[in-house]
């Protein structure tokens, strides 16, 4: 009599089945979500900083342009006519507006951006002292 090999015909137990449990899958999803959130935060902050830097550069450029214009206009102003009003405005008389005073006394001049003005004296009569108020 020959001995025949014994074959185990019993089904595999449930504990030895291949695959993952539901708890393991949920843990992997939660840990993956936390890591994704940290990675997103690490990416968003530099992008936000870059955008803010761009806006600061634009504002700095606009401020420099405004300052250059103010300096240019104040340099063109009549000497001793510049004054600060209400801590928000700078007022001055433009030299273009003063150029009309060389006309004859009694003349009425139309000066752009200023309007009609009456000439009471010429620069020569004021310098010589002939004009009195």
Farthest-apart Cα atoms in the chain, separation? 154
The string of pLDDT tens digits covering residues 43-71 is: 999 999 999 999 999 999 999 999 999 89
Residues 120 and 105: their CA atoms lie apart, in Å, by: 5
Residue 65 lies in a domain: yes
Per the structure, the complete domain to which residue 61 belongs is given by: 23-75
Mean pLDDT check: name the lowest of 4-8, 64-68, 85-89: 4-8
Structure tokens at 126: 């004021």
The per-residue pLDDT for 61 is 96
**DSSP bridge pairs for 116:** 110
Residue 31 lies in a domain: yes
45-71 CB burial, b ≥16 within 10 A, e <16: eeeeeeeeeeeeeeeeeeeeeeeeeee
Residue 39 lies in a domain: yes
Give every CB contact of residue 107 below 8 A, 6+ residues apart in sequence. Answer: 118, 119
Mean pLDDT of 66-95: 85
The per-residue pLDDT for 20 is 84
The string of pLDDT tens digits covering residues 11-30 is: 655 555 678 899 999 999 99
Compare 77 and 35 and report the one with higher pLDDT. Answer: 35
Residue 33 lies in a domain: yes
Domain count for the chain: 1
Q: How far is CA 80 from CA 54, 77, 89, 105, 121, in A?
A: 40, 8, 16, 23, 19
The string of pLDDT tens digits covering residues 90-122 is: 888 777 644 444 455 556 655 555 666 565 555
Residues 63 and 69: their CA atoms lie apart, in Å, by: 10
Length of the chain: 133
Residue 120 lies in a domain: no
- Classify 71 in phi/psi space as left (phi over 0), alpha (psi -120 to 50) or beta: alpha
């Amino acid at each position: 009599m020959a001995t025949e090999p014994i074959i185990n015909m019993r089904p595999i137990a449930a504990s030895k089945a291949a695959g993952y449990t539901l708890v393991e899958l949920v843990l992997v999803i939660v840990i993956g979500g936390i890591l994704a959130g940290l990675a997103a935060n690490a990416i968003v902050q530099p992008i936000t900083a870059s955008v803010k830097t761009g806006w600061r550069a634009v504002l700095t450029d606009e401020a420099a342009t405004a300052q250059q214009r103010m300096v240019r206009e104040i340099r063109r102003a009549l000497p001793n006519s510049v004054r600060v009003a209400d801590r928000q405005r700078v007022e001055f008389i433009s030299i273009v507006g003063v150029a009309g005073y060389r006309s004859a006394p009694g003349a009425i001049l139309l000066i752009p951006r200023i309007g009609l003005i009456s000439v009471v004296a010429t620069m020569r009569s004021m310098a010589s002292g002939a004009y009195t108020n």
